[in-house]
A and B are shown apart, each in its own frame.
Chain A
Amino acid sequence: MSSSELEFSSSAGATMGVELELQLLNSRDYNLARDAADLLGLLGKTGHPGAVKPEITESMVELNSSVHTSHESLVRELQVLRDAVADAAEQLNLRISGGGSHAFHDWSDRRIFPTERFQQLLKVYGYLAKQFTIFGQHVHVGCPDGDAAIYLTHMFSRYVPHFIALSASSPFQQGSDTSYQSSRLNTVSAFPLSGQIPFVQTWREFTDYFERMRSLGIVESMKDFYWDIRPKPEYGTVEVRVFDTPLTVERAALLGAYVQTLARYMLTERPRTPSRDVYEFYRYNRFQACRYGLEGSLIDAYTERRLSLQEDILATLQIIAPHATAIGAEAALQELAAGVEEGYSDAGWLRQVYGERKSFNDVARLQSELWMGRTKVHA
């Protein structure tokens, strides 16, 4: 690994890109299927924007958008990409679905996608690798330089509960209601290199830290850190990784717009300085958001007050509204705010479907119809 990996490529401010990990289902009982290789092969023959890649198990694929400056172009591209993937899947009698977890699959049935990296992960992490069949959205935002990326990473840490509550869509695991809004992050927490970036202040300090970890053989590359938020030097971005994959690409784009606007607000106004206290309450706040979603509470490290997560999100959306206007994300954030006000979450939608149908097969089926755009329910 050369040190050029740690050279931070500068990106234009307030650009964004989205990665979505998706579920591959069969159309018989809507359990996870294992046809990722066939689907990728078929998609390789048809033209589509962005990219579609394999993920750790054969039941997952990952969609990557291109780099975008506006919510509008992002959502349009994601819709085209979704239609291409949905059509190819149906030709193979498969279904595609959003959501952070599959409601009833058995992790021991999973098979690791046959690439060297994924096989290596199985060797190192054992059953955790198969349990890693969970589905997240990653949002990248562009940063001018490494120091800005470190600053933004620390600033975003306070908002991790927002990201979790807004995207929570993994209430079910292994055929049971977990009582969590996002149960997916509990699985991530089991990995030894999960967690948060150390409290470094500059890119220089960060590279020193990284080199130390590498020389001790703890990591080989940045990919080995499963942090909630991590800088991505080769893209010149900060990557937020705590989102569950939402049930629709439209909601995925809304979350992209939120991160993009928040980044613009942080990097242009520099409203606060990084605080170690944020990390003091970090795990508690993260748990609250995972467990209760919008109904959870949040300890604000800067004021040391307990806030309602729902109200804090709405307040934040107000504060960053001028920046939303500047980058054309106004309508997107208004839509997001309307959902927060009525207490909407994808996890809630899934529980409601289960309450009506009393069958996890039906939950998975309706979830896939929603993602594929075959039914119109909610953005």
Chain B
Amino acid sequence: MPSFLPQYPLEPNPLLLFGFLLLAGVIGGEVVQRVLAVPRIVGYVVIGLLLGAGGLNVLDARLTREAWIFVELALGLLLFELGRRLDFTWLKRDAWLAATGVLESALTFWLLFFVLTLFDVSPLYAAVASAIGIATSPAVVMVVAQELRAEGQVTERALNLTAMNSVISFVVVTMLLAGVHHEYRADWGTVVLHPLYLLLGSALLGLLASVLVVGFARWLGKSGREHFVMTLSMIVVTIGAARLFELSVVLALLSFGVLSRNLDRRHDLMPFDPGRLGQMFVVVLFVVSGASLRVEDLVAGGTLAVVFVLTRFVAKSLGVMSFTRFSGVRPGTAGMLCLALTPMSALAISMVRGTTELYPEFGTKLGAIVLSAVLILELLGPIAVDFALRRAGEAVAGQKPSV
């Protein structure tokens, strides 16, 4: 063979991978949406499942791992936006909303923990799985809301509750890391310091990024295009820095979002809307998260997964139903909120992956409990949010069925 020809086996490069994922997602999403009339993101997940290790194995475990960086980028973007939605002044004005967030998170953790131990899951696994269960998928809620151009009390409250339970979930999971380290006989320094390093380090990174972004924004003056590029680059740099320092992308970007809004007293930073660029990453996000799940896990852990999903729904609904009416919203809002908080997706997968990187054996067992539930909710969650926002009358009228 002449040396200028490509050598066999052909080595896929990241660009080819990214483009392929996008293309597969867009085409697959459209097909699934036309055939089943469900939100497109369900289609992306289905394509991921089909291409992934559990399906045709086009995206094998190694490629999925490589593609995970795109998930982190997409998730980072979404978490930044979600963080900017979390409004402390609102939580002060409507204390019942804050109370709802705390109550539904606490109930979800304890009820899941109780039920999982009933099913003979050992306490440490049950605790970490329950902590992961606290979080609603920010990606699903945000993407469905954006695609429906939904606006209103259900949408705004669902997003704020999602931001709250994502933070709480992440903090609890990180604290439980101490238990996992202890289980694997790590030294006391690691047991204590690793969770602290993750929490404080990531929060500090978020703080640094928001101080910088607000400073740059002031210096640039009010120019939409410059603010957009600058904010986007700060997001990417922050994601990269979080990886560099072995910190949490999730917490760093959430705190970046929250602080960049709540510390920007003079409103120097203009509203950030990733628009179509964001949609592109969303496609890849859902295809890859679909590819990292396997249908056969569902067969193995099916009962437990169903129990997990139902318990979580009951716990969240109890929390939401108890307090929401005191916020003075219209009757029916609470019910729609319960549905809107059901999704689990890439955030949960990424938390499982976090433990797998530390202790592969622990991560695999944890995955068996959590990931089959995630699989169910990857498919049902978007449909639930879509239904809730439409039913609440918050989707833009005249929109065709589903996203």
Answer whether A34 and B328 are a contact pair too, CB < 8 Å, given A28-B85, A365-B267: no
> Which of A27, A29, A33, A38 is in CB contact (< 8 Å) with B90?
A27
- Asked if B118 lies at the interface with its beta carbon under 8 angstroms from chain A, I say no
* CB nearest neighbor in B for A111: B397
Indicate if the CB atoms of B151 and A91 lie closer than 8 Å. Answer: no
CB proximity to B under 8 Å, residues A82-118: 88, 90-93, 109, 111
Complex Cα–Cα for A361 and B151 (A): 18
Indicate if the CB atoms of B153 and A38 lie closer than 8 Å. Answer: yes
Answer whether A91 and B271 are a contact pair too, CB < 8 Å, given A27-B87, A27-B90: no
- Asked if B19 lies at the interface with its beta carbon under 8 angstroms from chain A, I say no
Complex Cα–Cα for A30 and B327 (A): 22
> Which of B93, B149, B221 is in CB contact (< 8 Å) with A91?
B93
- Asked if B246 lies at the interface with its beta carbon under 8 angstroms from chain A, I say no
B-chain residues with CB within 8 Å of residue A33 when the two chains form the complex: 151-152
* CB nearest neighbor in A for B154: A38
Complex Cα–Cα for A362 and B266 (A): 10
Indicate if the CB atoms of B87 and A93 lie closer than 8 Å. Answer: yes
- Asked if A41 lies at the interface with its beta carbon under 8 angstroms from chain B, I say yes
Indicate if the CB atoms of B397 and A93 lie closer than 8 Å. Answer: no
- Asked if B30 lies at the interface with its beta carbon under 8 angstroms from chain A, I say no
- Asked if A123 lies at the interface with its beta carbon under 8 angstroms from chain B, I say no
Answer whether A42 and B151 are a contact pair too, CB < 8 Å, given A357-B222, A362-B267: no
B106 shortest CB reach to chain A, Å: 23
B-chain residues with CB within 8 Å of residue A361 when the two chains form the complex: 267, 270-271
- Asked if A359 lies at the interface with its beta carbon under 8 angstroms from chain B, I say yes
* CB nearest neighbor in B for A37: B330
Indicate if the CB atoms of B329 and A92 lie closer than 8 Å. Answer: yes
A-chain residues with CB within 8 Å of residue B85 when the two chains form the complex: 28
B-chain residues with CB within 8 Å of residue A365 when the two chains form the complex: 267
Complex Cα–Cα for A38 and B151 (A): 12
Residues of B in contact with A, size category: 20 to 34
B-chain residues with CB within 8 Å of residue A38 when the two chains form the complex: 152-153, 329-330
Taken residue by residue from 4 to 39, chain A's Cβ proximity to chain B (1 for < 8 Å, 0 otherwise) reads as 000000000000000000000011110001110110
Answer whether A29 and B222 are a contact pair too, CB < 8 Å, given A34-B152, A42-B329, A90-B93: no
Taken residue by residue from 82 to 99, chain B's Cβ proximity to chain A (1 for < 8 Å, 0 otherwise) reads as 001101011001100000
Complex Cα–Cα for A111 and B399 (A): 12
- Asked if B36 lies at the interface with its beta carbon under 8 angstroms from chain A, I say no
A-chain residues with CB within 8 Å of residue B89 when the two chains form the complex: 27
Taken residue by residue from 140 to 175, chain B's Cβ proximity to chain A (1 for < 8 Å, 0 otherwise) reads as 000000000101110010000000000000000000
Complex Cα–Cα for A116 and B329 (A): 24
Complex Cα–Cα for A361 and B272 (A): 12
- Asked if B396 lies at the interface with its beta carbon under 8 angstroms from chain A, I say yes
CB proximity to A under 8 Å, residues B105-161: 149, 151-153, 156
* CB nearest neighbor in A for B330: A41
* CB nearest neighbor in B for A358: B222
Taken residue by residue from 342 to 379, chain A's Cβ proximity to chain B (1 for < 8 Å, 0 otherwise) reads as 00000000000000011101100100000000000000
A-chain residues with CB within 8 Å of residue B328 when the two chains form the complex: 41-42, 45, 88, 91-92
Chain B residues proximal to chain A, CB less than 8 Å: 84-85, 87, 89-90, 93-94, 149, 151-153, 156, 221-222, 267, 270-271, 327-330, 394, 396-397
List 9 A-B residue pairs with CB atoms under 8 Å apart, sorted by A's residue number: A35-B152, A38-B152, A88-B328, A92-B329, A111-B397, A358-B221, A359-B270, A361-B271, A365-B267
With A359-B270, A361-B270 given, name 9 new contacts (CB 8 A).
A27-B89, A27-B90, A33-B152, A38-B329, A90-B90, A92-B94, A93-B87, A111-B396, A357-B222
List the 8 closest A-B pairs by CB distance, nearest first.
Answer: A358-B222, A29-B271, A359-B222, A93-B90, A42-B328, A90-B93, A41-B330, A38-B153
